[in-house]
Amino acid sequence: MFKFESPQQVFRIGDVEIGGHPGQRPTVMVGSIFFQKHRIVSDPRKGIFDAEKARALLDREAEVSKRTGNPRIIDVVGDTGEALIRYLEFVAASCDAPLLVDSSVPDARIAAVRHFKSSHVLPRLIYNAIDPHFSEEELACLKECGVKTAVVQAFSSRAVRPRDRIRLLEEELLPAARRGGVENFIVDVGVLDIPSVSWAAQTIREIKDRLGLACGCASANALYQCDFLREGGRPVFEAGSAAVLTLPQSFGADYVFYGPIRNARWAYAACGVMDAMLAYNSRNLGYRLACDTHPLHQVM
């Protein structure tokens, strides 16, 4: 439980605020839909999926979000530009949450951004991500289309230790994002496996203390690599995963990638309870809650 030295940047996307000191604001929860091998998808190249099941997943997450007070961003994942556009159109029409434009294929992300240029959906889009393999074409597209918010992934095989990730962020990635016209930076410090979540958490703390940027990680990426958790079934998986998701919060993370959206019920419960504890202590540090629907009021 601590204070950061630097002023903390806070920005709003729709109704979601992200950034600030630990405990001030609820942690933003990021769940993924239409990811690789998601069973509700029948044709990942064309983006054909079961709309009824997709809507049910989104609605269930919305209920949990309202219950705990944790806002949400939907991570919309697509293999191709055609699929990603179709998924984004559906999710944008189904809820009012901000949307991550996510694909392992840069051309798919670029196609989606261009499709929504000048549309009412564009202000809700978050480009995911500007990473060490960014291209000038990506940056030009973001600038041309007016995308103002992007995930900046401060991690690579040559930048594993916290100090190296910070150097990568400051010297390469932030200048690139600014060239692309990005104004709101959401830093993702990267995760390799469960033990490395500790390094990610330390990096989050150091970035926020040094730069004041909104910061977090996709610690859920490590969960399915752990045989102990995968083979343990319930409640072993949920219990161990709760520890993995909440550790970065205790170091100041502003958001948590919690994995498949089907995990919303237990993931929100774990992170909401951690938020309540952080918020209670923030009173000792002189901070006031930034909203009336904070998990401290919702789940306690």
Domain with residue 120: its CATH number is 3.20.20.20
d(CA 127, CA 141) in angstroms, rounded, equals 11
Cβ proximity of 217 and 186 under 8 Å: no
pLDDT at 285 over 90: no
CA angle 297, 298, 300 (to 5 degrees): 70
Pick from 62-71, 227-236, 277-286 the range whose average pLDDT is largest.
Answer: 62-71
pLDDT at 122 over 70: yes
Domain presence at residue 161: yes
pLDDT at 2 over 80: no
Distance of CA 237 to the CA centre of its chain: 21
More confident residue, 200 or 282: 200
Overall average pLDDT of the 70-85 stretch = 98
How many structural domains does the chain have? Answer: 1
Average pLDDT, the chain: 96
Structure tokens at 5: 């030295």
d(CA 29, CA 58) in angstroms, rounded, equals 13
Cβ proximity of 185 and 128 under 8 Å: no
Domain presence at residue 299: no
Overall average pLDDT of the 162-166 stretch = 97
Domain presence at residue 298: no
Overall average pLDDT of the 225-243 stretch = 94
Domain presence at residue 189: yes
d(CA 180, CA 148) in angstroms, rounded, equals 9
Kindly report which listed range (1-5, 238-242, 280-284) carries the lowest average pLDDT score.
1-5
Overall average pLDDT of the 213-232 stretch = 94
d(CA 16, CA 103) in angstroms, rounded, equals 23
Domain presence at residue 193: yes
Residue closest to 28 by CA, chosen among 198, 272, 242, 232: 272
- Residue 63, burial from CB neighbour count under 10 angstroms (0-12, 13-18, 19+): exposed
Domain presence at residue 111: yes
Residues in the chain: 300
Cβ proximity of 229 and 236 under 8 Å: yes
Domain that holds residue 175: 10-292
Can you list the pairs that 1-5 forms with residues at least 24 positions away whose Cβ atoms lie under 8 Å? 1/278, 1/281, 1/282, 1/284, 1/285, 2/205, 2/252, 2/285, 3/285, 4/208, 4/209, 4/212, 4/252, 5/209, 5/210
pLDDT at 66 over 90: yes
